[in-house]
């Protein structure tokens, strides 16, 4: 099992993130707010930019950074900062996630705009959801806990893609 990056490497990731933001500020000729930077991402994504409750955050996966340091410091950091810069300069309008503005910022950072990450992730801890049995008139289905919880709360319903019948919980 891979061990996540430690505090020294996390500090370096924060510094590289800040360097990208400073580069964007020079290009824009103005200051940008700073996103929170965390190392709590798990699963198969190396990085994620999100806005939650009006607060911008860049999340990094410390296990994937440990396994592929060079690839992530060279690609993932600029990738996520580019998402942040597009958000910070566009405001409430929602641009395409990997659209022309994002690609422009990737080039400003000196990185080829790419959205694929196809490296071997063996040894990286992954979340796994429990599945729940459902049925329709033609077959049985397995729904993830997320979808099952939506059905139970009454905020979601699902149809079979083959017979178009409603999925019912088997209990």
**pLDDT one-digit tens code per residue, 61-72:** 999 999 999 999
Mean pLDDT over 134-149 rounds to 93
Higher pLDDT, 105 or 122: 105
Mean pLDDT of the chain: 92
**Out of 3, 15, 18, 80, which one is annotated catalytic?**
80
pLDDT at 17: 98
Number of domain units in the chain: 2
**Which long-range contacts (C-beta less than 8 Å, at least 24 apart) are formed by 115-124?**
115/79, 117/44, 117/45, 117/46, 117/76, 119/67, 119/68, 119/71, 121/44, 121/64, 121/67, 123/1, 123/2, 123/67, 124/2, 124/44, 124/61, 124/63, 124/64, 124/67
Asked if residue 16 and residue 93 are part of one domain, the reply reads: yes
pLDDT in tens, 89-106: 986 677 788 999 999 999
Asked if residue 153 and residue 101 are part of one domain, the reply reads: no
pLDDT at 43: 84
Q: pTM score, two decimals?
A: 0.74
Apex CA 104: angle with CA 66 and CA 116, to 5°? Answer: 40
Question: What domain range is 140 assigned to?
Answer: 131-169
Within a domain: 28:
yes
Asked if residue 102 and residue 42 are part of one domain, the reply reads: yes
Mean pLDDT over 112-131 rounds to 78
Active site residue 27: no
CATH number for the domain that contains residue 55? 3.30.2010.10
């Amino acid at each position: 099992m891979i061990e996540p990056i430690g505090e020294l490497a996390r500090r370096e990731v924060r510094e590289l993130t800040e360097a990208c933001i400073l580069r964007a500020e020079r290009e824009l000729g103005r200051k940008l707010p700073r996103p929170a930077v965390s190392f709590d991402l798990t699963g198969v994504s190396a990085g994620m930019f999100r806005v939650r409750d009006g607060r911008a955050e860049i999340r990094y996966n410390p296990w994937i950074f440990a396994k592929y340091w060079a690839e992530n410091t060279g690609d993932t950091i600029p990738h996520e900062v580019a998402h942040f810069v597009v958000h910070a300069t566009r405001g409430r309008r929602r641009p395409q996630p990997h659209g022309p503005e994002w690609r422009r910022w990737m080039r400003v950072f000196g990185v080829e705009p790419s959205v694929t990450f196809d490296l071997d992730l063996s040894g990286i801890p992954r979340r796994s959801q429990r599945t729940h049995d459902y049925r329709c008139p033609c077959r049985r289905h397995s729904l993830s806990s997320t979808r099952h919880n939506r059905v139970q709360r009454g905020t979601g319903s699902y149809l079979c893609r083959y017979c178009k019948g409603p999925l019912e919980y088997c209990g």
